[in-house]
Structure 1
Amino acid sequence: MMRIGLFLATNLAIIIVASITLNLLGVGSYLNQTGGLDLTSLLIFCFVFGMAGSVVSLLMSKWLAKMGTRTQIIKQPRNADEAWLLETVKELSQKAGIGMPEVGIFPAQQSNAFATGWNRNNALVAVSMGLLQRMSRDEVRAVLAHEIGHVANGDMITLALVQGVVNTFVMFFARIIGHTVDKAVFKNEEGHGIAFYVTTIFAEIILGILASGIVMWFSRYREYRADDAGARLAGSGAMIAALERLKAEQKLPNEMPDTLTAFGINKGQTTSMIQKFFSSHPPLDARIAALRNKAYA
């Protein structure tokens, strides 16, 4: 599940570029006749463009993940491991009731894997070379089941909706802050001056970073759901064993690009409260404990 960091970075970049472009073109009339803000018009404006940024990020997620990780798609298996990988993903996908995803391998020695795509029948599942080399087949199967669980649960679509709502309110409150500074501090009486545009962009960046904590909370929640799906598809013992193996590798260097670290099943250790607030994954000990406390048919 290697997608959230890149998704958030892409989304924020789209929102900032869109805001600058719209401001330069003068698009978005949300001032009333007295020069104040028409909050209803402003909210509609922010919702349209906030959701647009999230949808574009969603549609680009698979292509960006491939490029960011240098994933090689398996079209024709070249060896027994690749043939087994394709067959296992096919079996788990059928069991989960989703279309067959693209399957790939990316060059990283850390054990990691991800799934992404704009819908459950047009997804990508990829694993690292290190994961294939060091995990048993039962453990690899459990990791694949976890990632397919993300796809079957529709996590990326739900994430896009959550991010779209967050975008809406980030843009909404940033413009209220920009309007207030422009009128109250710089005493601009007609329309909006340069202070509005500069303050709005600055506020969007700050609020966007802070609001990403909401998206990270959702990401942590969905990790438990994907672990649960993985346990049901591949067995709770195999899923716990795979998480234990990931825990043993937490001190290994993280070879994932910074923007993609949050997407992997293996996020690494978080220590400070700030790191925990912005972490996309719960602690592995908590995930293992959650699986052990559940009974599976």
Structure 2
Amino acid sequence: MTRIFLLIATNLAVMLVMTVVLSLLGANRFLTANGLNLGTLMVFSLVVGFTGSIFSLLISKPMAKWSTGAHVIEQPSSSTEVWLVNTVQVLSQRAGIGMPEVAIYNGEPNAFATGAFRDSALVAVSTGLLNSMTKEEVEAVLGHEVAHIANGDMVTMTLIQGVVNTFVVFLSRVAGYLVDSFLSKDEENHRPGIGFEIASFIFQIIFGIGASLIVAWFSRQREFRADAGSARLLGQKQPMINALARLGGLQPGALPSDLAASGIGDGSQLSAMFSTHPPMEERIIALQRLN
């Protein structure tokens, strides 16, 4: 339950901060003074919904390096680093994307890809993953991460998050306005006040939970696509099946909350509805059915 709460809180945090900032600048007072004009409200909602998501995407690479302590391989200093860089280069060429930065970080088995642009992304693997898998399995995981980049999954998730955030902000204020109007004793001269603010805040939390479910569902679908993408890049599906089976017997290392959806495994105990990753068994079955 703690991890579920943190996931929801992370998704709501940016919206709430943006809402507070714009409220302090007088946006909410302007909306309510003008009877909550829906056109203006939609513009307000778009600003709140997308600003945080886009900003998070743009700083995703430096934040990922900082939060995980990932070391970017600029000049390979070991045979493992040489192999990692060469493997990512080959997979990237097959996928038709620019060469990502390749990094290693200390931690339990996991890997992730991030970045705002498909031709200048970042692929990182943990020392735990390198130490617990065969080279063929690591190659499959790298193919999975390169497939995420080639599919534009980071941008897609940002757009989806922005859209659902927009609707959360918009609908919470419409619902708050309706509740405040219903409770008002002076309907003819009604001007929303503290009741509107409180009701909107509560509805934003409620709708935010629903938005988290939608985003998590899309995230699970992209994991299936990235698994299939790895199989196509390697020309066979068995290495990815083996990698997933190996991960199924391990406890994936937990990533910072802003990277949790980007890992090869989420390393959490979230309920199925809130999980950003499908169960390993389902992913393996999907690959086995792949033609």
Q: Does 1:161 align with 2:182?
A: no
Q: Given that residues 216 and 276 in structure 2 are in contact (C-alpha distance below 8 angstroms), is that contact kept between their aligned partners in structure 1?
A: yes
CA distance 1:201–1:114, change in 2 (3 Å)? same
Please name the residue that 2:55 is paired with.
56
Select between 74-83 and 53-62 the one with higher mean Cα deviation. 53-62
Please name the residue that 2:31 is paired with.
30
Shift of 1:11: 5.3
CA distance 1:159–1:175, change in 2 (3 Å)? same
Please name the residue that 1:91 is paired with.
90
3-state DSSP of counterpart to 2:114? strand
Identical aligned residues as a percent: 49
Shift of 1:194: 2.3
1:174-214 Cα distance to aligned partner (Å, 9 max, x none): 11122233333355755432232233233223321221110
Select between 253-262 and 75-84 the one with higher mean Cα deviation. 253-262
In the alignment of these two chains, the number of paired residues is: 283
Please name the residue that 1:79 is paired with.
78
Unpaired runs of 5+ residues, structure 1, are none
The AA in structure 2 aligned to 1:203 is: F
Please name the residue that 2:106 is paired with.
107
The AA in structure 2 aligned to 1:221 is: Q
CA distance 1:159–1:278, change in 2 (3 Å)? same
How does 1:1-297 map onto structure 2 within 5 Å? 12-27=12-27, 29-31=30-32, 35=35, 37-108=36-107, 110-185=108-183, 187=185, 189=189, 191-234=191-234, 235-249=236-250, 252=251, 254-257=253-256, 260-268=259-267, 275-295=271-291
Q: In 1, distance between residues paired with 2:153 and 2:124?
A: 16
Shift of 1:13: 2.2
Q: In 2, distance between residues paired with 1:263 and 1:47?
A: 25
The AA in structure 1 aligned to 2:111 is: A
3-state DSSP of counterpart to 2:59? helix
Q: In 2, distance between residues paired with 1:8 and 1:78?
A: 41
1:79-113 Cα distance to aligned partner (Å, 9 max, x none): 110111111111111110101111111111x2210
TM-score (norm 1): 0.87
CA distance 1:260–1:77, change in 2 (3 Å)? same
1:107-138 Cα distance to aligned partner (Å, 9 max, x none): 11x22100000010121100010111111111
Q: In 1, distance between residues paired with 2:137 and 2:178?
A: 56
3-state DSSP of counterpart to 2:99? coil
TM-score (norm 2): 0.89
Q: In 1, distance between residues paired with 2:88 and 2:80?
A: 12
Q: CA RMSD in A?
A: 2.4
Q: Given that residues 7 and 61 in structure 1 are in contact (C-alpha distance below 8 angstroms), is that contact kept between their aligned partners in structure 2?
A: no
